[in-house]
Structures are given as structure tokens and as C-alpha cells.
Amino acid sequence: MSYPRDLDEYDDEELKEELARRADLTKKKLCTYCKRAVTAPACRFPERHKTGKNGKGGKIKTPVIVVGDTAYELTEAFCEGALACHAGVPYNVGNPYDDEDDRASEWEYGHDLAGGSKEDNCGVEFTKEQAEKALAVAKKRRL
């Protein structure tokens, strides 16, 4: 597939393969577009990623910050990670969440984003003030 084709240009066999490929990825809980875990920050198809606590997919309800082609949900853990970074807490010792917990990676993404330069982050900045505000919003949503 070196150039974009219309759907009509695919033969049935190719379409069947594509559906099988997607079914396989879905079974493995991976996004059929970016092939990352459905729990990872959404790509340009957020509806293919699990969002929120119920994980039913659908539209993103949590506010997001878009960095390049990635939309990070501003969850509590994400904001906590960013604030930890702003407070000078090192990445490798500050994460309060268990490895198995989705929130552990949210925390890491938040820490990464806050720690990166504007150049690293496609011109986006996630300041301490923004993180504090977003954390307050995330906590309110939980109540």
C-alpha cells in the first residue's frame, strides 16, 4: 500500500484480510490504527481507544492535551505525574502507582510531558498552573 486507494479499488480478499487484521488487533486490545494498547493515549482515532474508567470506548469525555498526533487525557494520575515533575520528583522514584495499574503509565506520560521542552512537545507546554487546574477538574469529575 504505497499510495492511498479508494475503498472500491480493494478486492474482496484484501478487505477480508483487513477485517481479520483488525479483529486480531481488537482481540489483543490494541488500537487498529496505531497498534498501541487501547489504554494508551489516543491517536487520531480516539474512538478506538478505551477512555475513562468504564472503558466502553466512544467519545473522549476527559479533557485532553494534544501533543503532535497524540491526545493525552488529563486524568488525575497524568496531572500528578506532571506536578511531581514540576516539583523536581525524579521519574524513577516518584510514581506512586503499581506497574500493573494503568495509572502508572498515565503518571509517566504526565511527568514526561511536563519535563520535556516546548520543542520536545511539538510547541505544547504543560505548566504547573495548567496541571493544577486540570487536576482539580479531574478530581471534581470523580465526585
Q: For residues 31 and 138, which CB has a smaller minimum distance to Zn ion in the complex?
A: 31
In this structure, are residues 12 and 43 in contact, taking their beta carbons and an 8 Å threshold?
Answer: no
Smallest gap from Cβ 44 to Zn ion, in A, equals 7
Distance CA 125, CA 21 (A): 37
Q: For residues 37 and 137, which CB has a smaller minimum distance to Zn ion in the complex?
A: 37
Q: Which residues form the interface with Zn ion (CB under 5 A)?
A: 31, 33-34, 43
Smallest gap from Cβ 33 to Zn ion, in A, equals 5
Smallest gap from Cβ 63 to Zn ion, in A, equals 19
Q: Of 61, 83, 64, which Cα lies nearest the Cα of 73?
A: 64
In this structure, are residues 39 and 68 in contact, taking their beta carbons and an 8 Å threshold?
Answer: no
Query: Which residue, judged by CB position, is nearest to Zn ion in the bound state?
Result: 31
